[in-house]
Amino acid sequence: MSRIVENHRIYGSAPYKTAVVHGGPGAASEMAPVAQELARDQGILEPLQTATSLAGQVDELRVTLESNAAPPVVLIGFSWGAWLSYIVAALHPALVRKLLLVASGPFDERYVPQIEATRLKRLNTKDQEEWQAINRALSDPVARDKDALLARLGILASMTDTYDRIVTASEASDSIKPRGAVFQSVWATTAEWRRNRKLMELGRHIQCPVVAFQGDYDPHPAEGVQKPLSAVLKDFRFVLLRNCGHTP
């Protein structure tokens, strides 16, 4: 059973030496099923990111870990959360004992076009047009109803990214509304970090072991994670999951 405390949820009993970090940015609660499963054996912390800037989210996660976990922790980041966890491990290495990156986006800009190309191939013409329209709107500073747009984008992404979908009880009853404003502001900065290679270079400061898990059906190309990180991380292992989409 989970309990929401300020900007995080806790599962099981202290000490909390493992934290699960959700994707998005702005899609809180999607790591709840992982937290619930892991809490069978240990206390789990689930930070819920609310800051509207990349620097703010990094600091928010740092403070949440320092205040509520028992560092150094095992940090499990999913999708965008993999990048956020990676950045925190680089900037605050004393906080992280081991880093698990699940379904990360590619760390090299060269692999980015493959993501949308794969997704669009898996959609019909009507859904392709809606996908592209939502992405344009999310990048538009004056567009309205971004929370609803982000929620709809998530539905479309589940159609393109999932190999064999399973709806969990927590998805049905314990979800938190996506936040489009968070997505827009945080994503823009992080995408720029990828373009100028700052994101990849941060890996040289990571001191803990890192394991990356990627599904072979995930539109985010596995080699866009494996190759760049193999070049910068000191202790890195890559695991490719067969018949697996973006959400293992």
Element housing 98 (H / E): strand 96-102
Whether residue 165 is predicted with pLDDT greater than 60 in this model: the reply is yes
**Are 52 and 75 contacting, i.e. CB atoms less than 8 angstroms apart?**
no
Q: What is the pLDDT of residue 4?
A: 46
Q: What is the pLDDT of residue 145?
A: 82
Mean predicted confidence (pLDDT) in 80-106 = 97
Higher per-residue confidence, 71 vs 171: 71
Amino acid, res. 44: I
Q: What is the pLDDT of residue 178?
A: 56
Q: What is the pLDDT of residue 237?
A: 98
Higher per-residue confidence, 203 vs 183: 203
The Cα-based distances of 166 to 14, 16, 81, 162, 216 in angstroms read 30, 28, 21, 9, 18
Higher per-residue confidence, 145 vs 192: 192
What mean pLDDT is reported for the chain? Answer: 88
Task: List the domains of the chain with CATH numbers.
Answer: 2-111+160-241 (3.40.50.1820)
Rounded distance between C-alpha atoms, residue 234 and residue 2, angstroms: 35
Helices (H), 3-145: 32-38, 54-68, 80-91, 112-121, 125-138
Whether residue 35 is predicted with pLDDT greater than 60 in this model: the reply is yes
Give the pTM: 0.87
Higher per-residue confidence, 234 vs 52: 234
Whether residue 2 is predicted with pLDDT greater than 50 in this model: the reply is no
pLDDT in tens, 57-83: 999 999 999 999 999 999 999 999 999
- Backbone phi, psi, residue 99, to 5°: -120, 125
